[in-house]
Amino acid sequence: MSHPRLNLYDLTREALREQFRRWGFSPLHADRLWAYLYLELADSCDAMPKLPAKVKARLRAETRFGLLATARETDSSDGFTRKYLLALADGEKIETVLMRYTGRVTACVSSQVGCAMGCVFCATGQMGYTRHLTPGEIVAQAMHVARALKFQIPILKSQANPEAFHALREMPPRLRNIVLMGMGEPLHNYDAVMQAVDILRDSNGLALSAERITLSTVGVVPGILRLAAEKRSVGLAVSLHAATQAERVALVPAAKKWPLDELMAACRTYSTTTGRRIFYEWTLIEGKNDAPEQARAVGRLLEGLPAQVNLIPLNPTPGYAGEPTRSEAAKKFQKILAEEFKLPSTVRQRRGIDIAAGCGQLAVGET
Ligand code: SAH
Ligand code: SF4
């Protein structure tokens, strides 16, 4: 039986050094390989003059560079968002989104193929759960975007929008922001996600700062407590969507398992232990969770906590009929949070909706 090849992106720098020791090579070569992988963004052994031939021969025989093939890529009509459909080694597919804002680029990466949590308004939830991603498959998505930026692979196909064109010319060529808000529930795949975060943060590699990696959870209580106990250097966003248990269960079935009071207790523990603020996400659905009393209920729930609310007007998905809250009502909601509860909030910029790359629209299907 042949051994599956070792995916280099699965390894932390320490694990790579360990592997080199086992092969009888100096860990210094591991550090060199690490720099080729994460500073030069190399995709093969061919351009690695600083590695001895015997090391390269071993790498060629037993390892692989876990870059993912692009099955499809789509640009939004405004030119700010690019969505990649990426093929995994076993034929499964995932989506990764590159979002450009003026002076800033963010990669939105997936943590699972599908999702087991079944939130009613989410396209990923609607497709069900297939499997966890490995650390290397999570890292590979960031590398895909980092390489696209560095080697100017995408830039812009349609330059119809002058604002986008201008922003892109000013765009930094390095990836600095990652959100784990693509397909899947990151805290359902805790170990792989944290290993990927460690790899992305490594100071001799991509060196992403802790403030610029944010994971969003549906509210997996044990995962939040573990993040707190381990004092993980990663930003946390919690998908709230409703401020009472009954309303929340109707949107987020996982709330049956992790009820709102337990979730809020875990969030309090997290903020006390880490000293960090949490982002609370609220998908605004017209007539469902956007009334002034509901804004006041969130205000009371979060009062006194270090919190910021991210309001996300509902994006359309095939399996859910709701409509997004209109901008006037969203502003009113924000105003109540600000004036009555001193609670900061933002309305998430709509990005990539026309190519189904917005929040909750990622699924491997027809789009
Ligand atoms: N599984 C994680 C992260 C992925 S989703 C989580 O649920 O938090 C990122 C955010 O988009 C979540 O807050 C999610 O609830 C929200 N979302 C899902 N479907 C959406 C939709 N159709 N419109 C707007 N936001 C949506
Ligand atoms: Fe899963 Fe998040 Fe979608 Fe809910 S919103 S189904 S947790 S990906």
For the stretch 200-249, pLDDT in tens is: 999 999 999 988 999 999 999 999 999 999 999 899 999 999 999 999 99
CA–CA distance, 141 with 152 (Å, rounded to integer): 16
User: Any catalytic annotation for residue 359?
Assistant: yes
What confidence tens digit (pLDDT) does each residue in 10-35 have?
999 999 999 999 999 999 999 999 99
Residue 50 in 3-state DSSP? coil
What is the CATH T-level fold of the domain 9-64, as seen in this structure?
A: DNA polymerase; domain 1 (1.10.150)
- Residue carrying structure tokens 């693509």: 182
Task: Please name the helix (run of DSSP H) or strand (run of DSSP E) that holds residue 30, with its range, or none.
Answer: helix 27-38
How far apart are the CA of 26 and the centre of ligand 2, in A?
A: 44
Question: Which of 94, 95, 115, 133 is the pocket-test mutation for ligand 2 (most atoms within 8 Å of CB)?
Answer: 115
Task: Compute the CA torsion angle 126, 131, 132, 136 (nearest 10 deg).
Answer: -120
Supply the pLDDT for residue 302.
98
What confidence tens digit (pLDDT) does each residue in 95-122 have?
999 998 777 889 999 999 999 999 999 9
How far apart are the CA of 82 and the centre of ligand 2, in A?
A: 21
Smallest CA separation from ligand 1 atom 17, residue: 360
Smallest CA separation from ligand 1 atom 5, residue: 181
DSSP 234-258: SEEEEE---SSHHHHHHH-GGGGTS
Q: Is this prediction's pTM over 0.85?
A: yes
How far apart are the CA of 121 and the centre of ligand 1, in A?
A: 8
CA–CA distance, 11 with 178 (Å, rounded to integer): 19
What confidence tens digit (pLDDT) does each residue in 39-97 have?
999 999 998 999 999 999 999 999 999 999 999 999 888 778 899 999 999 999 999 99
CA 126 to ligand 2: nearest atom = 6
Residue ranges per structural domain of the chain: 9-64, 69-355
Three-state SS for 170-206 is CCCCCCCEEEECCCCCHHHHHHHHHHHHHHHHCCCCC
Residue of 45, 73, 95, 137 marked catalytic: 95
User: Any catalytic annotation for residue 95?
Assistant: yes
Domain spanning 69-355, CATH architecture: Alpha-Beta Barrel (3.20)
Smallest CA separation from ligand 1 atom 4, residue: 181
Residues 6+ apart with CB under 8 A from 151: 41
How far apart are the CA of 187 and the centre of ligand 2, in A?
A: 11
